[in-house]
Structure 1
Amino acid sequence: MAAARSAAIPVVPLSASPSGVPLAGKVGFLEDPEGTLVIADIRSSAVDQRFSIPPGAVQQDGLDDHARWFKIRIRQTEPAGEWLIDSSNTALRTFDVYGPYSDNGAMLAPPSKQGFAQAAGGRWLNSDRFNFRFALAQPGDYTIYIRATSVFSEYYSFTAWEPVQFGHAEQRRSMFNGICYGLFIGMIFYNLMLLWIFDESLYFYNFLSCLFALLTLSGINGHLGHYVLHNHTALIPIVLGASPALWIAFAGMFGRGFLELQKFAPKLNVCMLALMPLASVAVALAFCGQFSASLALTQLLSVAGPLLMFAGAIIALRRGFTPAAWYITGIFTLFLAAICTTLNNNGIIQFPFHYEALQIGSLFEIIIFIIALGSRIRGIRRQNGELGKRAKQLTKTARTDPLTGLLNRAGWAHYAARTLDRGGSAALLLIDLDKFKPVNDQHGHAAGDQVLKLVAERLQAEVGAQGVVARLGGDEFVILLADAPDSKVLALQAGKLIDLISLPVPYEGHALSVSASIGIACVPQDGADLSMLMHAADRAMYDIKENGRAGHAFACTAAS
């Protein structure tokens, strides 16, 4: 019976195929729940007959620590050769290989013991994954036994390789991994740059999310153990247990900020926050060595977190937050990859790959999130631009007289102060309309407003680019001339202004008439700051009013 069972396991011819020789469906499998069987037991007739041949790869959900035995029968047709059995696994606690055994039962090589439970060194010197390299000196049939244990989800699928062809295949795989790692590293620095520019916590959360995603994937691919922690193997399962939970947690915090859940979906925001303590528990369990419990909790988070964020993104999109559309695409891609990985780990569905789905999903999510962040930044810039325009409009309104369109007192003070600060000669003309009150009393305020608007237009047209005109309030105007001419030219300009103001103003068939008194103050004779100039010009203006109105006077003359 034992011989029949053993014979049922097919003998696989070895060859130097560029794609290796897949052994799925051709390997004997035996599960040892207690983990007590040793190689002598395995090779006994009583135990050998218990081997079965799974139709495909053997899956482990990571929630047990059973030992799993594999029996591989191979045939070498060449006179001699070197070969390699690749497990495709990177996170095994033990990977013990016995053999090869010849047909007569002779053991041709000492046992090979690898894995986290062993001392540092060994397997990380040759490959990112657990494999066994051996040499056969002559043609014939041989048997190899492998005992594997793990505290994580595993997908046991063995391939026989000629070492040179295995090296070529590893180069192609390394290129794909390099692209993934490069994108993650680029995203890490991208978020640091955005954090420095915008000082928003969501970019810090996305930085941490990308960092722990990189740790997770590099750990799953074996590169973390190969290049970083090869002398600290006890840390590898801790990192592999804690990093996925932290990845999910910080990705959730990034999603909360990106989608503004507190604004658009406050209830989902509370639910998302409630998942954060669960992530902390999963991390704590990993540090305590409870990897099965940590993995179970992390798998729960990997489903619940993306579902909540997907629902939040739908709500935000419906409320007009357009970058949520890109976020939905990205989170759906990663969610689908996480679901496939979880279902695959638990044997509910079977794929011809293991964690590659998660890596591919993460790759697409990174690309989509770069676009999503760009869309959000464009939206912020557009909003800031609109706010800037609105602020300028409000500032202009606050500094403009609504009746005449001239600067008001606040706008005048701002402009005049800046002009005077530049230094040089300047002249201030303070204008007060004469006979304006009778216009209001006899024809109404609408007539007075018409007079004020037409006077403003005449003053603005006359001054032009030489200076600025403002209405200080009531019937009082002021003009500031930069690079002012001498007093004779100023006197002529003041006279011309009075003539313009005195021109009739047509209103409902009436010719309304006003005149003006102008006080003139000059820099530096009458002062250097606005307050001194206004005071001097006001004194000169009232001097004119006391002497018959409709004229102009210089402050220095009025003072004397």
Structure 2
Amino acid sequence: MVVGRWLAVLLAGCLLVAAARAERPVRAPGIAVLETRQTEVDVWPLLSVLTEERAVWTLPDVLARLSERRPPQVPTSNFGEFGGVAWLVWDVEVTQSAAGEWLLDVGYPALDHADLYVLREDRLTAQLRNGDWLRLSERPLPTRTHVMPLNLSAGRYLMVLRVQTSGSMIVPVRLTTPQQRQMREERVQMLQGLATGVMLSLLIYSLAQWYSLRDRMFAYYALGVGGVGIFQFSFQGMGMQHVWGNALWVSELLPPACILVGVIGAFLFIDRALEIRSTSPWLSRLMRGGALVCTVALVLLLAGVISYRDAQRISKLMGQVPTILALPIAWRRWRRGDRATGYILIGWGVYTAGVVVLALLISGRIPATPVTMHVFQVASLAEMVMWQVVMGIRMDTLRRAAEQDRHDGERLRRLADTDALTGVLNRRGLQGAVVPMLQRARPDALVGVYLIDLDGFKPVNDRHGHHAGDSVLIEIAARLGMQIRQADLVARIGGDEFVVVVGELRDEDAAVRIGDKLLQSVQAPVSLEGGACSVGATIGFALSPTDGTDVGHLLAQADQALYAGKLAGKRQLRRAG
């Protein structure tokens, strides 16, 4: 229900954005009046426009057609994918108190040409060329957006802005002073730096997880984060200003290329994260096919076969395909109680809203405002954070599964090393556990290896049955364990043969005392359902390092001592050697 409410809110948000396409009233051009140095003017409501498809007009041609200019019949500051030239014309009145240095800020970085002509009394007083086709060092000012300095004295001016671009023609125009723009730009730079830092942190984290876990899911996530993050870095003008200012080909190719890379990452990541191959192999092949299509488009873009605008259209078309294809699987998993999928649906909802706004923006169907121009960036960050939560849940699941596997493995190892009847070590378990004890053996800290063979056990089996014999073996194993410390070992290595290993014995006398205790514990009567019975034991023992340090050799020494005890009448303790 929580996810459903979130999706409903996001859908309502998209509808509100779409409602911004309502018809705009026709208005007459106005005059931008600069009254004080604190004035900042949004030029769009005051300008009129002339458009041409073939890009052949010059400034005199435009001046001759001023009577034909009309208010722009497009959403605020947004001509969309218009492929011609837009000539924006407006009048400026400068008062005496406002005279001085001003800036014209065209606030959309991805414009190829933004050329300004300033006329006073029909005479050209300034001509400034700007746009992405110029290196940063060739622009009037080395800024993120297209900023042109103007020295305006009191009086009336006619300003003409020629705009042409291969991408979307978004033209937010503002007249401002250097101080006001600096304050506004500082806020923008801080927020863009924060967004870039978040994306960079997610990228580094995912690459580190991929390197350490060798899980391709993290590599695909890094591909998506890197593509979207670099696109935003370029789209907001940060790349041109701070990184590749004089590499024009980078600004031309990077935005559509990065979006394609991000879509490739989305196809592969969603396929991997939702484990689509295990539930729907054909859908998984379709997801990988979508990634292949975008890869081919990326190669064609880099090779110059398709244009910036073609790549933009392909990425806009393919951008939502991964979500659309995987949505039914994600929905079913969420309905079955998969907590991680709820975060996926929230992330998709936010991202879809951002993509819808971006698609409407670049196609010229909604106004270009600070909100609409940054919605996709915020939505991308939100989706990436949601996916990070999903990966955290998955890592926790993998960790729990690994812990369970380790516990199961330990249990299996214990079963493999333990005698099923008595619960003490078997021969295999003894071989592994005794080695560290023998490695610590010293002349003043001996390790005693006692080989114990029961006397009179066969008659118990013959008289009382194997069930009674098993009870005797269980009781004997328990008694032997009670005579030694927790750090020492008890093992059953044959039918009625036991081994006891005792460490930190000061001398042979101490070893003999332990052996006598073991012998006496075995000889005490054992209670059975049909009465009591008695068995005895013969014990041979060897000491390490005195008699050797190899467990096999020590057991052989103890076996010889045991055999000698059997020949001498049984039920006794014998030292090897």
* Same fold by TM-score greater than 0.5: yes
The counterpart of 1:35, out of the listed 55, 75, 78, is: 55
Measured in 1, the distance between the counterparts of 2:136 and 2:189 equals 23
Aligned partners of 1:401, 1:304: CA distance in 2, in Å? 59
Change (3 A) 1:41 1:466: closer
Maintained 8 Å contact 2:137/2:245: yes
Match of 2:430 in 1: 412
2: CA distance, partners of 1:397 / 1:446: 22
- Report SS of the residue matched to 2:339: coil
Would the aligned equivalents of 1:90 and 1:222 in 2 still touch at CA under 8 Å?
yes
Structure 2 match to 1:453:
474
Please say which of residues 24-33 and 449-458 is displaced more in the overlay. Answer: 24-33
Distance 1:336 1:518 in 2: 82
Per-residue deviation at 1:551? 2.0
- Does 2:449 correspond to 1:428? yes
3-state SS, counterpart of residue 494 of structure 1: helix
Task: Supply the distance in 2 between the matched residues of 1:540 and 1:68 (Cα, whole angstroms).
Answer: 108
Q: Distance in 2 between matches of 1:67 and 1:427?
A: 98
Residue in 2 that maps onto 1:4: none
Q: Name 1:184's counterpart in structure 2.
A: 199
Deviation at 1:208, TM superposition (A): 3.4
Contact persistence 1:16–1:161 (CA under 8 A): no
Q: Which position in structure 2 is the counterpart of 1:250?
A: 265
Instruction: Provide the C-alpha distance between the structure 2 equivalents of 1:410 and 1:345, rounded to a whole number of angstroms.
Output: 72
Change (3 A) 1:92 1:285: farther
Per-residue Cα deviation, 1:397-453 (whole angstroms, up to 9, x for no partner): 221112211111111111112211223222211111122122112221111111111
CA distance in 1, matches of 2:575, 2:273: 65
Classify the secondary structure of the residue corresponding to 2:170: strand
Looking at structure 1, the residues matched to 367 and 329 of structure 2 have their Cα atoms a distance apart, in angstroms, of 31
What residue number does 1:125 align with? 141
Please state how far the C-alpha of 1:296 moved relative to its aligned partner. Answer: 0.5
Q: Deviations over 1:218-238 (max 9, x none)?
A: 211112122222222233111
State the distance in 2 between where 1:359 and 1:241 align.
15
Shift of 1:264: 4.6
Compute the TM-score of the two structures, normalised by the length of structure 2. Answer: 0.87
- What is the deviation of 1:49? 1.2
Work out whether residues 234 and 251 of structure 2, in 8 Å CA contact, stay in contact via their aligned partners in 1: yes
Paired AA for residue 336 in structure 1: A
Amino acid paired to 1:334: Y
Q: Among residues 154, 157, 163, which one is paired with 2:169 in the alignment? A: 154
Query: Does 2:406 align with 1:384?
Result: no
Please state if 1:106 is matched with 2:127.
no
Deviation, structure 1 residue 10: 1.6
**1:15–1:161 CA contact under 8 A, matched in 2:** no
Judged with a 3 Å threshold, the aligned counterparts in structure 2 of structure 1 residues 299 and 16 are, in CA distance, closer, same or farther, namely farther
Match of 1:217 in 2: 232
Contact 1:427–1:520 (Cα < 8 Å) also in 2: yes
Tell me which residue corresponds to 1:462: 483
Whole-angstrom distance in 1 between the partners of 2:36 and 2:283: 56
Letter in 2 for 1:430: L
Q: Within 1, Cα distance between the matches of 2:242 and 2:369?
A: 27
Q: Distance in 2 between matches of 1:48 and 1:309?
A: 55
* Cα separation, partners in 2 of 1:485 and 1:114, compared to 1, 3 Å: closer
Aligned equivalents of 2:206, 2:50: Cα separation in 1 = 48
What secondary structure does 2:247 align onto?
coil
String of CA shifts for 1:338-395, please: whole Å, max 9, x gaps: 1211122223444634431111112323433443333333332222222222222222
Alignment of 1:9-158 (within 5 A): 9-15=29-35, 20-45=40-65, 48-54=67-73, 56-62=75-81, 65-78=83-96, 80-99=99-118, 101-102=119-120, 104-109=121-126, 111-118=127-134, 121-123=137-139, 125-140=141-156, 142-158=157-173
Query: Residue 507 of structure 1: which of 525, 528, 537 is its match?
Result: 528
Change (3 A) 1:170 1:309: farther
The aligned counterpart of 2:343 is 326
Q: Secondary structure at the match of 2:91?
A: strand
- The whole-number CA distance in structure 2 between the counterparts of 1:446 and 1:370 is 59
- Are the aligned partners of 2:40 and 2:176 in contact in 1 as well (CA < 8 Å)? yes
Q: Relative to structure 1, is the Cα distance of residues 37 and 174 closer, same or farther in structure 2, using a 3 angstrom cutoff?
A: same
Across the two proteins, how many residue pairs are aligned to each other? 544
Residue equivalent to 2:564: 543
2:111–2:165 CA contact under 8 A, matched in 1: yes
After the TM superposition, which of the residue ranges 14-23 and 122-131 deviates more from structure 2?
14-23
What SS does the aligned partner of 1:519 have?
strand
Q: C-alpha deviations, 1:210-254, integer Å up to 9, x for none? A: 333232112111121222222222331111221111122124333
Aligned residues of 1:264 and 1:315 also touching (Cα < 8 A): no
For residue 62 of structure 2, what is the amino acid of its counterpart? I
TM-aligned CA deviation for residue 479 of structure 1: 0.7
**Structure-1 separation of matches of 2:80 and 2:263:** 19
Structure 2 distance, partners of 1:162, 1:313, is 51
Equivalent of 1:341 in 345, 355, 358: 358
Counterpart contact for 2:209–2:218, Cα < 8 Å: yes
> Residues 282 and 293 of structure 1 are in contact (CA less than 8 Å); yes or no, is this contact kept in structure 2?
no
Q: Could you list the per-position Cα deviations for residues 495-529 of structure 1 after superposition, in whole angstroms to 9, with x for gaps in the alignment?
A: 44333212222212321221112112222443321
More displaced stretch, 541-550 vs 389-398: 541-550
Q: Aligned partners of 2:505, 2:145: CA distance in 1, in Å?
A: 86
Give me the whole-angstrom Cα distance separating, in 1, the residues matched to 2:35 and 2:282.
60
TM-score (norm 1): 0.90
Quick one: distance in 2 between partners of 1:178 and 1:161? 23
- Equivalent-residue separation in structure 2 for 1:146 and 1:242 (angstroms): 29
CA distance in 1, matches of 2:319, 2:40: 34
Shift of 1:324: 3.3
**Which of 414, 418, 426 in structure 2 is aligned with 1:400?**
418
Distance in 2, matches of 1:484 and 1:473, equals 26
1:301-316 alignment runs, 5 A limit: 301-316=318-333
Letter in 1 for 2:535: V
Name whichever of 205-214 and 354-363 sits farther off: 205-214
Cα distance in 1 between the residues matched to 2:413 and 2:420: 13
1: CA distance between counterparts of 2:321 and 2:334? Answer: 20
Corresponding residue SS for 1:540? helix
Q: Which one-letter code corresponds to 1:414 in the other structure?
A: G
Q: Is the 8 A contact 2:425 2:491 kept in 1?
A: yes
